[in-house]
Amino acid sequence: MIIDWYILAPAAFFAGMVDAVVGGGGLIQIPVLLAQFPQTAIPTLFGTNKLSSIAGTGAALWSYARSVRIPWFVVLPATAAALVGAWGGAALVAWIPRETMRPMVVVLMIVVALYTFMKKDLGQQVTRVLDGADRWKGALFGLVIGAYDGFFGPGTGSFLIFGFVRLFGMDFVQGSASAKVINFATNVSAIAFFASHGPILWKVGLLMAACNLAGSYLGTRLALKHGAGFIRKAFLGVVAILIVKQLLEIL
């Protein structure tokens, strides 16, 4: 099998850069993997995508954690609940057709995009001090997002960032940093799941991970340098692409 590294490597780099800022790297990597390995089982390709992504997510988390104050007492319960929710969401696939989610998700994404676009000051600065009640709110938020991620998935990173900004008063930088904690944990869980359901393309995944890592470093530097305004614009761009992608798949 001939592997087109001149396609896979730039895709992984760009995916890492985008994912470090607002999530959505899978939008880039998964279609490229599907095109390059059309005869390969889907769990194998999804596992390979996660193997590549976790390198960039881990690097972004490390960089954010050194520069941004992450409210761990809210984020950690949300992360633990997201892992539980993802398992429950995956179990729902046997009971509810996955495609029933798509129209509702498109509507939610349009609402998120319009709300963010119209609220020019949303996420530009931290708007409130978190309290003890936010720990339980964070756990509920993580449970819901985790269930969605396990059941359907597209736009999880964007929903995480929007939720942290809107529900917990974070700015976009802090929201993106907090989302990376959950992203990293769910990626570990996903790799374990996919590895147990089929072989992962380890050589491809690890080499793409190196490119993803480099892209993530650049994306994180850009986010930290240019701040919440830059992340807000990137966020709106990714959500718009997600909306178009989901509409095309519906039609």
> pTM for the full model?
0.88
Q: What is the mean pLDDT of residues 15-24?
A: 91
Residue 2 clears pLDDT 70, i.e. is over it:
no
80-91 in b/e form (b: 16+ CB < 10 A) is bbbbebbeebbe
**pLDDT tens-digit series, residues 62-90:** 999 999 999 999 999 999 999 998 888 87
State the pLDDT confidence band at 41, using cuts at 50, 70 and 90.
confident
Write down the residue that tokens 């998935």 correspond to: 153
**pLDDT tens-digit series, residues 189-222:** 888 888 887 788 999 999 999 999 999 999 999 9
> Residue 186's pLDDT is what?
86
> Residue 65's pLDDT is what?
93
φ, ψ of residue 21 in degrees (nearest 5): -90, -55
Residue 49 CA to residue 40 CA, distance in Å, equals 13
> Residue 94's pLDDT is what?
64
Higher pLDDT, 93 or 180: 180
Residue 232 CA to residue 121 CA, distance in Å, equals 10
Find, among 36, 34, 28, 12, the residue nearest to 241 by Cα: 28
Tokens of residue 34, six digits: 């599907």
Residue 159 CA to residue 161 CA, distance in Å, equals 6
> Residue 110's pLDDT is what?
92
Residue 20 CA to residue 69 CA, distance in Å, equals 17
Q: Are 178 and 170 in contact (CB under 8 A)?
A: yes
Residue 143 clears pLDDT 90, i.e. is over it:
yes
> Residue 43's pLDDT is what?
81
Rg (CA), the chain: 17
Mean pLDDT (the chain) is 89
Residue 1 clears pLDDT 60, i.e. is over it:
no
